[in-house]
Amino acid sequence: MKFKHILIATVAFLLISSELQSQGFIKAVVSLTGNVFNQVTKQPETTALLVMKDGKRVTATRSRASENGYYYITGLKAGETYDIKLQKTGFMDQQFSIDVPNTDKYAEISKDFLIMPKEVGVRLPLSVPPFEYNKSKLRVGSEILLDDLQETLKLNPEVKVQIISFPDNNKDKAANEKLTKDRAQSLKDFFATSGVSVDRISIGANQNTDPENPPPIEKAAKGKRYIGRSYIKIVSL
């Protein structure tokens, strides 16, 4: 008899929970998982991850280098936006915004993070060229690619950097120097507009292509062109 009452109560609870969830009173739980790597060495890192909501800490976890930098966060609410703050001694403080999908069922989303070493002389490449071929104006949509970087610069106000850009070919040294100076200036202007002090940013130009990422020897596929990289170099702390 007792078992029957427990069974009825459990079924009733599940039915009520399902109804409340369908009406939006209870939001589904979403988990965030992924790996954390060193942006320069690409090696996994042990790092603290703080989950923030409206400036307040919600929960925290830690990635583990021994498990390929793996981390796991659960308890996120569907349809909400969270900030994931990464902190580790010797690395830049970084923060990333995560939009949790609006779902009525349990879900997992995946996101890998690259953390930036805080060392003088370190050069951090922009993962995607923010310029079109032989152009110095930021291409449409590049702001999305640069948002995380400008946020990192604002979170580390003691860090001064130099922006270094490389040209797309080795045809004209004078033209390349002007192009790369203008590219670096475009990036500096973007960061300044985003709230980073211009006193913290210097720029550098180059006449030749990037020796660490040179143009391909073989002809590129149709529609694809080599575009010189840009770097953020830490010059002082």
The predicted structure's pLDDT at residue 170: 93
Where b means 16+ CB within 10 Å and e means fewer, 73-106 reads beebbbeeebbbbbbbeebbbbbbebebeeeeee
Bridge partner list, 234? 161
Q: Which fold has domain 27-115?
A: Immunoglobulin-like (2.60.40)
Radius of gyration of the chain from its Cα atoms, rounded to whole angstroms: 23
Enter the tokens of residue 13: 């609870």
The predicted structure's pLDDT at residue 26: 56
The predicted structure's pLDDT at residue 223: 60
Global pTM value: 0.78
DSSP state of 44: B
CA-angle at 187, arms to 95 and 223, nearest 5° = 100
Q: Compute mean pLDDT per 10 residues along the chain, 237 residues long, and list them.
A: 50 46 63 95 96 94 96 94 95 94 90 95 90 93 88 94 96 96 96 93 95 82 82 95
Could you report the per-residue pLDDT of 181-210, keeping only the tens digit for each? 999 999 999 999 999 999 999 999 999 999
CATH 2.60.40.10 residue ranges of the chain are: 27-115
The predicted structure's pLDDT at residue 143: 87
Could you report the per-residue pLDDT of 133-148, keeping only the tens digit for each? 999 999 998 888 899 8
**What span, in angstroms and rounded, lies between the C-alpha atoms of 31 and 201?**
38
Bridge partner list, 49? 61, 86
3-state SS assignment for residue 8:
helix
CA distances for 187 relative to 33, 50, 164, 198, 204, angstroms: 32, 29, 10, 11, 11
Enter the tokens of residue 235: 């010059």
**What span, in angstroms and rounded, lies between the C-alpha atoms of 15 and 37?**
43
**Is there a contact between 39 and 116 (Cβ–Cβ < 8 Å)?**
yes
Q: What is the CATH number of domain 123-236?
A: 3.30.1330.60
CATH 3.30.1330.60 residue ranges of the chain are: 123-236
